[in-house]
Amino acid sequence: MAEAPSDLVRIDDTGTAHAVSRTASQKLRARKGTFRLMPAPIHVVFMRYVGEDGKRDEEDGAVVKLSGEIVTKGTLCDIVALVGHAGWKGELVVLDGLTSRSVFFEGGNVIAAQSTAEGERLGEILYQLGALTQEQVDQCMAVEGKRIGDAAVDLGLLTRDKLFHVMSKQAEEIVYKTLLVGDGMFYFLDRYDESRLSSRHNLSANALLMEGVRRMDEINYFRERIPSDEHVPVRVTGKKEPGEEVRRVWEAIDGETSVIELGRRCEMSLFDVTQAVFQLCSTGHVKVVPPKPTDPVAICETFNAAMRLVMKAAGEGGKPGELSDTLQSFASSSGVYDALFMFAGPEADGSIKTERVVSNIRGLASEDAVPTLAQWLYDYVAFALFAVSSVIEHDAEQTLSRVVGEMIAPLRQAPDEPKSSSIGPHFSIHIE
């Protein structure tokens, strides 16, 4: 585990421990009491609370049955396999920075799991699986003295059966995320407080382990086709309907909804919906495109990344000045770019000053600034790709067109999307 300077404690020549920082001091103060120094290797200090009597009593806390450092992903697979096979009852606590996860075992099964990680708490899982809207989650969290699940049932937003199903899925997802921890500490405690469990399930530890390992292997393949959860699946025309196992996802694809939002719509976990989209990609039923930028800053950054590639290719072809002159002529003749790029460039590498362009577009197209800016910058890059083809080799041009075309595809506006200004570029290329 990477050492954090804020957690350092120094032991001096007298054997006295000193907290190096305020953070370390606060952590030590939270453990006020009498501890026994347990036998350990010389480079490890292991202490456990024993109280003033110096004896390890029942009320002094659970016995640490296993513990260790996590330095690589997959380390916990062996621990879960051991605990499950042995049929131990207890709590596996995994600490990863500020994140804490607990997996509760009994008789070879996982009966519950808890997490402080963002995206793994019950309210977030209820939203991710489409069981509640964000407004409904907020409404439930505002109910005082009630757990969010109980509040949802009391408000009539969920049935008790549905809540139990979601909590079971939450436990599964926490286990899968626990197996992925690659830097931290783990402790297996020989018991747990039953009152901490809001529900009990019966999930085979071995089955969860095998599924977790499969997910580790497959997620890398998924990312080759689906770079992020925000990418958008688009149906490929002329294809027959796919098999029943992915039909629900196929029917929910509208060319606008991201992978993560498809999961909500289909009430599926993120992994399951990603797997279904990947399968549809593999059979040629869908293609995946980057998400459309939703604000002017993101649009400008996409444009800058694309133009830097174009200008770099022109430089490698030995004619960056020729391309710059061509682009200047195009910009001046279009009636748009002189105003859009005022005091904003383009620079020698083709990029523009984002902050200035954002200010300019709001003056030119205040009502529909986002779609207008996206289309104008798309057209500019499209012309740049057309112009650069005359100064670089054909093979290089084909590669550049493909890479940049994919990069700027989210900027292209559909024919029926609004344009607030009557003026616009006189040139546009449709890039596939």
Nearest-10 crossing angle of helices 296-316, 354-364: 120
Buried b (16+ CB within 10 A) or exposed e, 152-170: bbeeebbeeebbebbbbbb
291 and 407 Cβ atoms separated by less than 8 Å: no
Please, which pLDDT band fits residue 421 given cuts at 50, 70 and 90?
very low
Please, which pLDDT band fits residue 413 given cuts at 50, 70 and 90?
low
Nearest-10 crossing angle of helices 369-388, 320-334: 140
Please, which pLDDT band fits residue 376 given cuts at 50, 70 and 90?
very high
Say yes or no to pLDDT of 252 above 60.
yes
Q: Structure tokens of 11?
A: 């032991």
| CA dihedral sign of residues 348, 352, 356, 359 | positive
Q: Half-sphere exposure (CA, 13 Å, Cβ side) for 279?
A: 15
Backbone angles phi, psi at 72, to 5 degrees: -145, 155
Q: What is the pLDDT of residues 110-152, one digit of tens each?
A: 999 999 999 999 999 999 999 999 999 999 999 999 999 999 9
Nearest-10 crossing angle of helices 259-266, 270-282: 110
C-alpha to C-alpha distance for 4 and 311, rounded to whole angstroms: 42
Mean pLDDT of the 175-201 span: 94
Residue with tokens 């400008």: 300
303 and 337 Cβ atoms separated by less than 8 Å: no
The DSSP output letter for 241 is P
Amino acid letter, residue 425: P
pLDDT of residue 350: 93
Alpha carbon 40 to chain centroid distance? 39
Q: What is the pLDDT of residues 307-351, one digit of tens each?
A: 999 999 998 888 778 899 999 999 988 888 999 999 998 999 999
- Cα angle 185, 121, 152 (rounded to 5 degrees) comes to 155
| CA proximity to 271, closest of 206, 174, 339 | 174
pLDDT of residue 423: 40
191 and 62 Cβ atoms separated by less than 8 Å: yes
For the chain, the domains span: 63-213, 224-289, 296-411
Higher pLDDT, 428 or 269: 269
Long-range contacts (CB closer than 8 Å, 24 or more residues apart) made by 58-66:
61/189, 62/90, 62/91, 62/189, 62/190, 62/191, 62/192, 63/189, 63/190, 63/191, 64/187, 64/188, 64/189, 64/190, 65/90, 65/188, 65/189, 65/190, 66/186, 66/187, 66/188
| CA dihedral sign of residues 348, 386, 342, 408 | negative
Mean pLDDT of the chain: 89
